[in-house]
A and B are shown apart, each in its own frame.
Chain A
């Protein structure tokens, strides 16, 4: 006996509810909109928030790309792709340029996004103020009254301890000069890509049941100090596969002697780049 699901697994009422939350999130950039998160057939922490957003906005003509840590072929990415292939029968792609919908965990593709594309982020902890103020009613008030000064305490602690802002991922940003937002655990290297992005950026936190969004062409500013400005990480060397120096590089240990190589974290970008440099 075959079990048939609704298109993209979620029932239409749930999709409607999530789409309403998305519209509200887009209307108030960076504001966390609570939504009635549904049980999905994968564990919390694996992208239940992202998968619900994807299921709600996906259509039969969409080309879906799923990446995990920049890679198209990790278990998590492949499972989510299979899931939508099975339940929605949509086309799967690895090509960032032709994809209309990209679900991501931990990275923004190196290939610049275009108008009309939607990027869905999987978010574990949506509340950037949680480190400073664990009480939810208090953080709501801090957002409401724009009391964000103490967020800098986190950066202060970094400088006091390490001599620089050591926060390397989930680096807090101000969206549209108003709401403080956690950009999900993307490296801070990707923060500038959020700024005035032509694509729609949607963030879904399944366990915490929050949705937030950055509409296209919105200002996104990373927090910093006057005397310790926001800086991007850089690497000594280039990608061992494609030779790129313009992408986020992972350090990979290749043997028991501690030999290390740097390789692009975005596998699709790396493959394309390698192909074009070695015709």
Chain B
């Protein structure tokens, strides 16, 4: 794995003591970590371990019960859990991207591919059709979708293409961090490989940070600099990806790593 780009600049995102309770049930508990610019963080663990809850808290989709999510803006670090909702929505909308597991949740299926890519641009204030069109074509090309399909509906795309379209639609406004919730699950292996390829290229060329939630350790190893292993809502182990996957220390991580099927 390539080394982390630069650890000196202040973190882009800082999660501090984040908790989320659903009634008596605990979603995640006392989660703290930092993400530096250009860094790719993986969150792994079995289903129900609180990975997606954590990501949704960071993305402002659910309100954490406790703790803070600090985000670096030009005005300094801002706590998304404390600032007013309009401000939080603006920061989330302009500075982050969110890729869902099912493209149908992240994309508008009744709107053409170009419209899906253009939506964020228009939301950010672009009012020039030609420029929106140009950006959409460029991004389709970047995520390796035939630009000739710009006016087709996403429902006519294959699963892998939909996922790549979703990534393009998120990156068009140049966010600093991309939050991804199981982006490769449900895709077959060759399609996964292509998606990972595209992601790696984009991450390095754009110096993009990423938080990748996945239960697929192979994907985590290929993409992530650092890994956090979650179990029952808490982080049980963290460290460099290769270190965690090659030399797991906690019994749970050892179990997780050893349970991966090898062909």
The complex places the Cα of A224 from the Cα of B89 at a distance, in Å, of: 25
Which of B90, B123, B127, B129 neighbours the largest number of chain A CB atoms within 10 Å of its CB? B129
Distance between A222 CB and nearest chain B CB, rounded to angstroms: 13
The complex places the Cα of A214 from the Cα of B90 at a distance, in Å, of: 29
Does B183 reach chain A (CB closer than 8 Å)?
A: no
Does A271 reach chain B (CB closer than 8 Å)?
A: no
B114 touches A152 (CB 8 A): no
B127 touches A157 (CB 8 A): no
Contacts of A157 in B (CB 8 A): 111-112, 115
Contact flags A154-184 to B (C-beta < 8 A → 1, else 0): 0011011100000000000000000000000
Interface residues on chain B, number (Cβ under 8 Å)? 25
CB contact under 8 A between A150 and B119, given known A145-B89, A156-B132, A225-B127? yes
CB contact under 8 A between A160 and B123, given known A227-B130, A228-B129? no
Interface bin, chain A: 20 to 34
Does A226 reach chain B (CB closer than 8 Å)?
A: yes
A160 touches B125 (CB 8 A): no
Q: Looking at chain B's contact residues, is the secondary structure mostly helix, strand, loop, or mixed?
A: helix
Does B151 reach chain A (CB closer than 8 Å)?
A: yes
B122 touches A156 (CB 8 A): yes
B122 touches A153 (CB 8 A): yes
The complex places the Cα of A238 from the Cα of B85 at a distance, in Å, of: 54
The complex places the Cα of A153 from the Cα of B115 at a distance, in Å, of: 6
CB contact under 8 A between A150 and B123, given known A157-B115, A160-B114? yes
Contact flags B120-137 to A (C-beta < 8 A → 1, else 0): 001111111110110000
B86 touches A152 (CB 8 A): no
Contacts of A153 in B (CB 8 A): 108, 111, 115, 118-119, 122
Does A12 reach chain B (CB closer than 8 Å)?
A: no
Give the residues from 43 to 87 in chain B that come closer than 8 angstroms, CB to CB, to chain A.
85-86
Binding site for A on B (CB under 8 A): 85-86, 89-90, 93, 108, 111-112, 114-115, 118-119, 122-130, 132-133, 150-151
Q: Could you give 18 example pairs across A and B, Cβ below 8 Å?
A: A141-B89, A144-B86, A145-B86, A149-B119, A149-B122, A149-B123, A150-B122, A151-B122, A153-B111, A153-B119, A153-B122, A156-B114, A156-B122, A157-B112, A160-B112, A225-B127, A225-B129, A226-B129
Binding site for B on A (CB under 8 A): 132, 141, 144-145, 147, 149-153, 156-157, 159-161, 224-228
